[in-house]
Structure 1
Amino acid sequence: MIWVTEAKALPDFRLWVRFSDGMAGEIDLKDFIAADSRPIVAALRNPRTFSVLRVDMDAAVWDNGFDLAPEFLHAQAKAQATA
């Protein structure tokens, strides 16, 4: 099982994330956030809201309560590293 051990919001709707398996990298979430119409995700289009991020349990969590599963972030980090 993979979990997030560190996460930091970066400019332009990117995250830097480190995982329990030692993998670390940047993840671009701009398209994901732009395409998701749920109000909880739409709120993250505000750079100030996006920038307030923490690790809670094993996931990246924003102050508005939205979280992304570690498995999703890990897959995104892998895919974007090879793109």
Structure 2
Amino acid sequence: MIRVTSVAVEPNFHLALTFSNGEKRRFDMRPYLHLPIYRCLQNPAFFALARVDYGTVVWPGEIDIAPETLYELSFEHAT
């Protein structure tokens, strides 16, 4: 199973991710921000609290997103 090993918050609700296979990818959270569980992430200060835990990206309040989603729906990101 692929896991997230690091996350950096980027402008416009994007996440720069590094995965356990060494790939660096970028994920756009904007399509998810209308969903009830993610609405609080519309606040840029709260969104910036993203961190890695248990191999995926999490925010306070037990908010997370599946690492498979992050990997499959992200695109390559050069550093």
Q: Tell me the TM-score normalized by structure 2.
A: 0.87
Structure 1 residue 21, shift from structure 2 partner: 1.1
- Measured in 2, the distance between the counterparts of 1:62 and 1:9 equals 12
* Per-residue Cα deviation, 1:50-72 (whole angstroms, up to 9, x for no partner): 01111011110012321011111
* Per-residue Cα deviation, 1:21-46 (whole angstroms, up to 9, x for no partner): 11112111112213x1x1x3110000
Report which structure shows greater RCO (CA 8 Å, sep ≥6): 2
- Equivalent residues, number: 76
User: 5+ unaligned residues in a row in structure 2: which ranges?
Assistant: none
Structural RMSD (CA): 1.2
* Structure with more strand by fraction: 2
Q: Tell me the TM-score normalized by structure 1.
A: 0.83
Percent of aligned positions with the same letter in both sequences? Answer: 34
User: 5+ unaligned residues in a row in structure 1: which ranges?
Assistant: none
| Structure 1 stretches of 4+ moved >4 Å | none
Structure 1 residue 15, shift from structure 2 partner: 0.2
